[in-house]
Structure 1
Amino acid sequence: MLSLISILGFACALAARVAALNPVVVHEQEFSDSVTNDRFVIIGIDYQPGGQGAYGTGSGDPLSNGTTCLRDAALMQQLGVNTIRCYNVDPSLDHNDCVSIFDSVGIYILIDVNAPVPGLSIDRSNPSSSYTTSYLQHIFTVVEAFKSFPNTLGFFAGNEIINDVATGQANPPYIRAVQRDLKNYIAAHAPRTIPVGYSAADVQEVLQDTWAYLQCKNSNGTNDASRSDFFGLNSYSWCGSHSSYTISGYSTLVETFSNTTIPIFLSEYGCNDPAPRVFDEVTTLYGPQMTTLSGGLVYQYTQDSSNYGLVQTYGNGTAQLLGDYDTLMGQYDKIDVSLLASSNSTATSLQPPQCNADLISSDGFSTDFNIPNPPNGVDQLIKSGVPNAPTGSIVSVTRTSVQVAVYATNGARLSGLEIQAVSTANSPGQSRSGLSTGAVASATASSSADTSSTSAGGSGSASSTGAAASAKASSGAYRFGAGFAGAAVVIGAGAFAL
């Protein structure tokens, strides 16, 4: 018979045990779960509290404050999000708590490796001058910081570097060079293959050529490291309730990318003119007409001066839901999740075309597929690895209840906000609690806190315009739908203390 000490020791061992999400892999034009082989479609939000202006201030990394991440992960889990995109991260900081929290609620992470300061990103006006050993060491360090997390979905090698025909001349070879270097570093030092891709501007003159240039095969073998593993598109073409599948140009996107050999998704979407947003594009993006695409990420989680936010956050850690949050939840709830898990029958046995000038249609866009060699010292850096690099790992998540005040759109404080342990990717309606407010609304968070107003997004983001969004107030007590039954458990996507 086991002694009480043995039983307690076994219980402690269980409490410290950490399970995690299955990594996502690329299979031709789809993402899929590496264990179940089910298709993975991104239901996501762009997540950069503080914005790029906060980078380097000590508070500009969205994945370094566990209290904030717990608050936001709980709200995203209720919403139905399964992926976030973070534009600016500081690889020297500790990301274990935040990434583990998001892992525990079934949320994957896409990381931009660049930073919005000179020398830490490719300069679209002079790419050769910014493609340096010190730059590559920085982005390799970002890989080191996130390579060991199973919910790291992928790395963006660049964001909107090509934004017109002129920048489509010199930059494409350097984008492929950065992708090659990242993938070679991952192959040498990561415990698994992690996809690397690009986030493109929705500029019609160069969009198709950018995709064609980055997805083609530039070698005679099967392994071309310079090739994109996925392709994101920052698109704000569906605006308001009067738009449609054809008016927005979504139908053109499906036609353009019908023979893609890599996953394509909207890395930003959510036009806010007219406002408030209605998010009618959601049911189309995740419907049967657009199974070629792999979902998308709404811009953006945190409210700022450009009025794209779902949630208003404050300097003291409190937050208030905005009308867009409620509206997006209603649209997410219409998604047929079973449709998303089914593989696209047209995505089988796809082979990338061989790179050649015939793939490019625009005069002035690069047809040069001679990819620049790495700068001096980079081959050795890839071989040896970044010295003293910070490497993260999943840790036990022992706190589940949100520690800061969160308010509904009507100003009433939410009660019972907490994360729930899951073992698979989150989805709309999967982990809803009976979260509600009291009958009497309390003062809103803004009465006692300063707002955060810096803008989010990568350099050259297409999301700096739009009409001011108005928050749609709800009447009466705010309530999420009933759903998740039972208490938090020890064994699941993350280890939770009983």
Structure 2
Amino acid sequence: VNTIRIYNLSPDINHDECASIFNIAGIYMMIDVNSPKPNESLSRDKPWESYNHDYLERTFKIVEAFKNYPNTLLFFSANEVINDVPTAITVPYIRAVTRDLKKYIKNHVDRPIPVGYSAADVREVLVDTFNYMQCTLTGDATDDSITDIFALNSYSWCGKATFDEAGYNKLVDMFKDSSVPVFMSEYGCREIRPRVFDETAALYSSKMNPYFSGGVVYEYTQEKNDFGLVVLNSDGSAKLKTDYDNFSNQLAGLNITELQSTSNSGDPTPFPKCSSSLIKDKGYPKDFAKIPSPPDDGLAELIKDGVASPKNGKLVTISNLKVKQVVKNSDDSVLTGLEVKRLTDGNVPTQTSVGSVTAPTATGTGTTETPAETSDSAAVGMKQLGGFGFVMSSLLTALYLI
């Protein structure tokens, strides 16, 4: 695993140690700027009320908290806000938040960090949402309201389904001409237990790899919704589930050399010009002129000058990388000698045994711990590939972290 998605973060607490450990291990972070708390996300019912100064100021504080970590891969402007035609009234506001975040990043971050949208796999609105989010109002890539990345939360592949039965063939048809990177920001249907994750092999196969940039298994920790790969106990111990074993084995079975050799063919697909003809459902918004401006004059000033007294994160030295907590395999045997490995390059699966599980593991011999030396950190791939290239062959899982 080389990337995690992190939901429901607070900009008011310090994340330095956690981000630094991820960086040492070669793990990128995809950051959701919203949370389920009041006025910390767009309202599906009345987005014009939730799109306000206080809401946007908080999203900018999230940017400030994570912008200096070299392993921050991207920010999500919203997650599954649109789940049917009526809630599509929010789509102009999602583009507005995307624009505001991108402008803020340009003004206050010393490197490009892409901003994406994570969509629910609701086929009746998926294509219209995709077309709305990736089209250009200016005729080219200078339009800051274009999403940099389009991500999909999809649970259509369950158990031993086939490529066509899961509708993955239709997803390829939908996104094969995309102008922006597309990947699965959540996957892992739980109708069949334990989950076998056969879709992982399909996602990184020649059928999908030219069009999809990997995927994120939902989720790391076991919660009430029962999607976890790992059970975290109140005493600090952890137990790997059979789902973890199955996912690990799927990653270990991938042909990483083939994935890494995949290259872009031809010129980038140009952004389509925003037009009502892109939208097929008669109830879906078609008036691109209704993408709202910042809600008040103070917001434009905030984007220009930045939030007051930002709490900027930074990498810190982590001296002890040995795992002190008890960690058990799914068969209750105890894993011993666990330690975070310091990496110089990206994290790729190999056929190395961990406990009783054949699992992906890190490669490399070392990484830096100080902000002054981040060129050798997990983010080396991002710096070399211009901001988003590394996501093209990501092997991902998801994590909740407060």
Tell me the TM-score normalised to structure 2 length: 0.88
What are the within-5 Å matches in structure 2 for residues 272-283 of structure 1?
272-283=190-201
The aligned counterpart of 1:397 is 318
1:493 paired with 2:351, answer no
Q: 1:341 aligns with which of 239, 260, 264?
A: 260
Q: 2:345 aligns with which of 424, 448, 473?
A: 424
Q: Note the alpha carbon deviations across 1:18-44, whole angstroms, 9 max, x for none.
A: xxxxxxxxxxxxxxxxxxxxxxxxxxx
- How far apart are 1:368 and its partner, in Å? 1.4
Matched residue SS, 1:289: coil
Q: How many residues align?
A: 369
- Counterpart code for 1:240: G
- How far apart are 1:180 and its partner, in Å? 0.3
The aligned counterpart of 2:382 is none
Does structure 2 retain, via aligned residues, the 8 Å contact 1:176–1:226?
A: yes
What are the within-5 Å matches in structure 2 for residues 273-312 of structure 1?
273-291=191-209, 292-312=211-231
Q: Note the alpha carbon deviations across 1:449-494, whole angstroms, 9 max, x for none.
A: xxxxxxxxxxxxxxxxxxxxxxxxxxxxx25569779986778638
Distance 2:339 2:259 in 1: 27
- How far apart are 1:424 and its partner, in Å? 1.7
- Counterpart code for 1:196: V
Distance 2:64 2:266 in 1: 32
| Dislocated runs of 4+, deviation >6 Å | 481-491
Q: 2:67 aligns with which of 133, 139, 147?
A: 147
Matched residue SS, 1:278: coil
Matched residue SS, 1:231: strand
The aligned counterpart of 1:106 is 26
Q: Note the alpha carbon deviations across 1:358-404, whole angstroms, 9 max, x for none.
A: 10111100101121010111110011110011001122221110111
- How far apart are 1:306 and its partner, in Å? 2.1
The aligned counterpart of 2:270 is 351
- Counterpart code for 2:66: F
Distance 1:153 1:482 in 2: 21
Question: Residues 183 and 413 of structure 1: is their aligned pair in 2 closer, same or farther, counting only changes over 3 Å?
Answer: same
The aligned counterpart of 1:469 is none
RMSD over equivalenced CA pairs, Å: 1.9
Does structure 1 retain, via aligned residues, the 8 Å contact 2:34–2:40?
A: yes
- How far apart are 1:221 and its partner, in Å? 4.8
Question: Residues 266 and 381 of structure 1: is their aligned pair in 2 closer, same or farther, counting only changes over 3 Å?
Answer: same
Q: Note the alpha carbon deviations across 1:285-334, whole angstroms, 9 max, x for none.
A: 00110021001000111112222111000112110010011111111111
Q: 2:147 aligns with which of 214, 222, 228?
A: 228
1:93 paired with 2:7, answer no
Question: Residues 485 and 210 of structure 1: is their aligned pair in 2 closer, same or farther, counting only changes over 3 Å?
Answer: closer
1:183 paired with 2:102, answer yes
Does structure 2 retain, via aligned residues, the 8 Å contact 1:417–1:435?
A: no
- How far apart are 1:130 and its partner, in Å? 0.4
Matched residue SS, 1:193: coil
Tell me the TM-score normalised to structure 1 length: 0.71
Does structure 1 retain, via aligned residues, the 8 Å contact 2:347–2:363?
A: no
Matched residue SS, 2:104: helix
The aligned counterpart of 1:31 is none
The aligned counterpart of 2:395 is none
1:386 paired with 2:307, answer yes
Q: 1:317 aligns with which of 236, 244, 247?
A: 236
Unaligned runs of 5+ residues in structure 2 are 370-375, 379-402
The aligned counterpart of 1:237 is 156
Question: Residues 313 and 368 of structure 1: is their aligned pair in 2 closer, same or farther, counting only changes over 3 Å?
Answer: same
Distance 1:481 1:199 in 2: 28
Question: Residues 91 and 489 of structure 1: is their aligned pair in 2 closer, same or farther, counting only changes over 3 Å?
Answer: closer
- Counterpart code for 2:271: P
The aligned counterpart of 2:50 is 130
- Counterpart code for 2:80: E
For the pair shown, the structure with the greater C-alpha radius of gyration is 1
- Counterpart code for 2:181: P
Q: Note the alpha carbon deviations across 1:397-435, whole angstroms, 9 max, x for none.
A: 2111011111111112211011111112211128x5x65
Q: 1:246 aligns with which of 164, 168, 171?
A: 164
What are the within-5 Å matches in structure 2 for residues 1-16 of structure 1?
none
Q: 1:121 aligns with which of 41, 45, 49?
A: 41
Question: Residues 251 and 479 of structure 1: is their aligned pair in 2 closer, same or farther, counting only changes over 3 Å?
Answer: closer
Question: Residues 347 and 198 of structure 1: is their aligned pair in 2 closer, same or farther, counting only changes over 3 Å?
Answer: farther
Q: Note the alpha carbon deviations across 1:332-368, whole angstroms, 9 max, x for none.
A: 1111112222344446332101000010111100101
Does structure 1 retain, via aligned residues, the 8 Å contact 2:343–2:364?
A: no
Q: Note the alpha carbon deviations across 1:55-92, whole angstroms, 9 max, x for none.
A: xxxxxxxxxxxxxxxxxxxxxxxxxx011001110111
Matched residue SS, 2:29: strand
- How far apart are 1:253 and its partner, in Å? 0.5
Matched residue SS, 2:36: coil
Matched residue SS, 1:154: strand
Unaligned runs of 5+ residues in structure 1 are 1-80, 437-477
